[in-house]
Amino acid sequence: MAKYLGARFARCHETGITTRSISTMAEDDDLAQSLETHRKYLQRYAQFHLRDPSLAEDAVQDTLVAALSQRDRFQGRSQLRTWLTGILKHKVIDLMRSRDRALPPDAFSLDQDNNSAEGAFDAGGNWVDPPADWGKPDAALEASQFWRVYQECCQRMSRRDALVYSMREVMGLSSEEICKKIEITTTNLHVILFRARQSLRTCISKNWFGTQHD
Amino acid sequence: MIHRLIYPCEQAAKLSSRAMEQALTMPERVRLRLHLMMCERCTNFSRQIEFLRRASRKIPEVLENDAD
C-alpha cells in the first residue's frame, strides 16, 4: 500500500506539483505516513463487516486513496481515524451491495407473512424458547472470548441481515440513512432488525450466557 | 377487555425492537409497558436487545484494541 501511495505521489509530482510549496509536499508525506499507521485498524474494521480479506483490502485501499484526494476536507476537525472510518463505512457498504447484486434477486426477498424470526413464536404468538434472565450482562463486554462468540453469532445471520444490523448498530447509521442507502422501506428495516436481534440474542444466550466460561 | 390490553409476546417483542428505531405512538407505548409489567420473558428480551446495542456500539473500540 505504501508503495501504491508512493506511486500516486510520484504521478502528482510529474503533473505540475512543482508549483506547490515544499511544506505542502512534506504535509502530504506526513499524511501518507499517518494513513499507513491506521491501515491495520481499517483492515480489521473492513474484514469484520465483509468477512473477505481481499475485498476488505480493496475497501481500505479505496479509503486511503479517497482520503488523500480529499485531504483538504480533513482539517483536524475530528480524529484522523474517525474521519477514515467514516469514509471506509461507505466503501464497505458499497462493496457489499455490489457483491450482493450478483446473487439471485429472490435471495433477499422478505416474506412478509412469515417473518416471525424463524419459529421464535408459536401460532398464538407465544415464545417457543422464552428469553431467560442474563443477570448483569455488561461484564461480558470485558471478556475477549465474548467478542468471538458475538462475531460467530453475527455470521449465522444472512449477509443481508448482518449488513443491515451492522449499519444500524455498529456503524451507527440512522434508520433513514439505511433505508435510503440500500433502498428498503421502513417496514422492511424493522422486520430485518427484529429478525437480526432475535437471531443474535438466541445465539449469544446459548453460547455465552447459557454456558460456563472463564 | 383484558385481552385487548394483553397482546401476544410476539407483538410485544416486535414493538420493543421498533421502539429502538422510532418513537412509538402513545397507545403502543402504554400497551407495551403493560405487557412488560406482566411478562418477564419479554422484559428479558427487551433488556437483551438493549444490551446487544451497547455491545455492538463497542465493536470499533474492540477492533482497535485487537492485537495485530
A160-191 pLDDT per residue, tens: 899 899 999 999 999 999 999 988 999 999 99
Whether residue A116 is predicted with pLDDT greater than 80 in this model: the reply is: no
Q: Does A165 touch chain B (CB under 8 A)?
A: yes
A141 DSSP assignment: G
Question: Is pLDDT above 50 for B67?
Answer: yes
pLDDT greater at residue A165 or residue A113: A165
Compute the average pLDDT of residues A74-79.
70
**A111 has pLDDT over 50:** no
Q: What is the pLDDT of residues A125-138, one digit of tens each?
A: 999 999 999 999 99
- How far are the Cα atoms of A4, A7, A74 from residue A36, in angstroms, in the given order? 11, 15, 16
Judge: A138–B22 Cβ closer than 8 Å, yes or no: no
The DSSP code sequence of A54-116 is HHHHHHHHHHHHHHHHTGGG-SSSS-HHHHHHHHHHHHHHHHHHHHHHTS-GGGG---TTS-S
Of B20, B48, B57, the CB nearest to A134: B48
Tell me the pLDDT of chain A averaged across its residues.
Answer: 81
pLDDT at A103: 60
Which of B14, B32, B39 should we substitute to test contact with A (largest number of A Cβ atoms within 10 Å)?
B14
Picking from A194, A141, A205, the residue whose alpha carbon sits closest to that of residue A164 is A194
* A168 exposure class (CB count in 10 Å sphere: 0-12, 13-18, 19+): buried
Residue A102: what residue type? A
B5-30, pLDDT tens digit by residue? 568 999 999 999 999 999 999 999 99
In the three-class reduction of DSSP (H, G, I as helix; E, B as strand; rest coil), residue A165 is classed as helix
Q: Any bridge partners for residue B40, and if so which? A: none
C-alpha cell at B5: 390490553
Binned at pLDDT 50, 70 and 90, residue A7 comes out as very low
Give the dihedral of Cα atoms B57, B62, B65, B68; nearest 10 deg.
-130
Contact at CB, A141 and B55, closer than 8 angstroms? yes
Q: At A114, give phi and psi (nearest 5°).
A: -135, 60
Taking the CA atoms of chain A, what radius of gyration do you get in angstroms?
A: 22
- For chain B, the domain total comes to 1
Second CATH level (architecture) for the domain A2-101: Orthogonal Bundle (1.10)
Q: Mean pLDDT over all residues of chain B?
A: 89
Tens digit of pLDDT for each residue in A31-70?
777 788 889 999 999 999 988 999 999 999 999 999 888 8
A79 has a pLDDT exceeding 80: yes
> Is residue A183 classed as helix, strand or coil in its secondary structure?
coil
> In this predicted model, what pLDDT tens digit does every residue of B25-44 receive, in sequence order?
999 999 999 999 999 999 99
Q: What is the spatial distance between Cα B23 and Cα A173, in angstroms, rounded to a whole number?
A: 17
Give yes or no for a contact between A190 and A110, defined as CB atoms under 8 angstroms apart. Answer: no
* Residue B14 with chain A: CB contacts under 8 Å: 190, 194
Contacting residues of A for B57, CB less than 8 Å apart: 169-170, 172
Contacts B7 to A, Cβ<8 Å: 125
The residue type found at B25 is: T
Residues of B in contact with A165 (CB under 8 A): 56
Domain boundaries, chain A: 2-101, 111-209
Contact A125 B11 (CB under 8 A): yes
The per-residue pLDDT for A23 is 53
Whether ipTM exceeds 0.95: no
Architecture per CATH, domain A111-209, reads as: Orthogonal Bundle (1.10)
Secondary structure class of A121 (helix, strand, coil): strand
- Give how far A126 is from chain B: nearest CA, Å: 5
DSSP-derived letter for residue B40 is: H
Question: What's the CA gap between A189 and B14, in Å, rounded?
Answer: 12
- pLDDT, tens only, A184-210: 999 999 999 999 999 999 999 999 998
